[in-house]
């Protein structure tokens, strides 16, 4: 593993009396796409919030375990300090600033990361190349964008903070298949450009096509982990997350 890998060990987290993560350990290798799969309420969003230091904004807390990135501890740090370390989250539900323009949303993304104007301009150019629509609509209010375009803006805003590790929470949620495929293609491109990605997805087939490794969370615990190839071939993953057995059963009926 390279120096910038993320290492999670024995992570426990919850919301008051609600236990959401129990003894979760995983590695996110530098340079790769790693996926976190699991059904509703499995703890996927909680895991990303725990990594990004934003759990407290949701009334939650990390109660045990460690998160190490690039050799330094991230757990216990405020969210802004995690961003400054190069770990940036795109939260679930495309939370753009609806009343602000697209350009101002992108500017807001850059606030989290110190840098000179040239670095910021390079980040904006990268975002505009990945998502030309954000350049075309720069002066439009973000709330007027389509769902897919808002997802692009949420990702673009995160990229303005120049992450080394991008945490993506269900980028395909609620999008039509063509738009979901388009977002997936962009995730691949972002990764190819050198940004490590940790991708949370309910859409297991999409995630396993993008990722090299994956973990499956079930009721807050790691139930399975392995290479994307291994998990795609696993009967349990095929049955529970890829719906393969259901299709076969339907074909037999
Ligand atoms: P989904 O795919 O439905 O978003 P998830 O895998 O991301 O699910 P989490 O949102 O992390 O799952 O939820 C894990 C557990 O924590 C669930 O039992 C959920 O009800 C609980 N939970 C999540 N957010 C909160 C919150 N803000 N306050 C209290 N409980 C919460």
User: Is residue 253 scored above 90 in pLDDT?
Assistant: no
Q: Is 57 in the pocket of ligand 1 (CB under 6 A)?
A: no
Ligand 1 pocket member 40 (CB < 6 A): yes
Whether 69 shows a pLDDT value over 60: the answer reads yes
Pocket lining: 202 vs ligand 1, CB cutoff 6 Å: yes
Task: Please check whether residue 49 is in contact with residue 55, taking contact to mean a CB–CB distance below 8 angstroms.
Answer: yes
Distance 20 CA to ligand 1 centre (A): 7
Mutation to probe ligand 1, out of 11, 12, 15, 24 (largest number of atoms < 8 A from CB): 15
Which of 36, 43, 93 best tests ligand 1's pocket when mutated (most atoms within 8 Å of CB)?
43
pLDDT of residue 112: 72
Domain boundaries, the chain: 4-86+164-252, 101-162
CATH code reported for the domain at 4-86+164-252: 3.40.50.300
Once rounded to an integer, what is the mean pLDDT over residues 61-76? 94
| Least confident window among 14-23, 119-128, 225-234, 240-249 | 240-249
Round to whole Å and give the CA distance between 245 and 55: 36
- CA 222, 223, 226, 229 dihedral sign is negative
22 lines ligand 1 (CB under 6 A): no
1, pLDDT greater than 50: no
Q: For ligand 1, what atom is nearest to the CA of residue 202?
A: 2
pLDDT, average across residues 183-201: 95
* Cβ of 45 below 6 Å from ligand 1: yes
pTM summary value: 0.92
pLDDT, position 237: 81
Ligand 1 pocket member 61 (CB < 6 A)? no
Which two three-digit tokens encode residue 216? 């499956």
Predicted pLDDT at 226: 94
Nearest atom (ligand 1) to Cα of 49: 11
Q: What are the φ and ψ backbone dihedral angles of 83, each rounded to 5 degrees?
A: -60, -45
Report how far ligand 1's centroid is from the alpha carbon of 37 (Å).
14
């Amino acid at each position: 593993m390279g120096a910038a890998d993320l290492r999670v060990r024995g992570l426990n987290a919850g919301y008051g009396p609600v236990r959401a993560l129990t003894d979760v350990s995983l590695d996110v290798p530098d340079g790769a796409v790693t996926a976190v799969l699991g059904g509703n309420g499995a703890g996927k969003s909680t895991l990303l919030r725990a990594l990004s230091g934003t759990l407290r904004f949701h009334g939650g807390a990390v109660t045990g375990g460690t998160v190490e990135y690039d050799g330094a501890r991230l757990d216990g740090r405020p969210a802004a300090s995690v961003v400054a370390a190069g770990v940036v989250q795109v939260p679930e539900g495309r939370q753009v600033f609806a009343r602000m323009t697209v350009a101002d949303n992108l500017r807001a993304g850059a606030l989290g990361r110190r840098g000179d104007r040239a670095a910021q301009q390079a980040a904006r150019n990268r975002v505009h190349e990945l998502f030309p629509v954000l350049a075309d609509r720069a002066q439009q209010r973000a709330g007027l964008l389509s769902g897919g375009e808002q997802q692009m803006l949420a990702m673009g805003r995160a990229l303005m903070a120049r992450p080394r590790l991008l945490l993506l929470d269900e980028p395909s949620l609620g999008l039509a298949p063509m738009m979901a495929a388009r977002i997936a293609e962009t995730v691949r491109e972002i990764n190819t450009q050198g940004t490590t990605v940790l991708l949370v997805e309910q859409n297991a087939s999409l995630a396993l096509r993008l990722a090299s490794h994956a973990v499956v969370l079930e009721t807050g615990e790691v139930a399975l982990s392995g290479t994307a190839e291994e998990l795609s071939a696993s009967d349990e993953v095929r049955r529970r997350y890829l719906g393969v057995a259901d299709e076969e059963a339907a074909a037999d009926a």
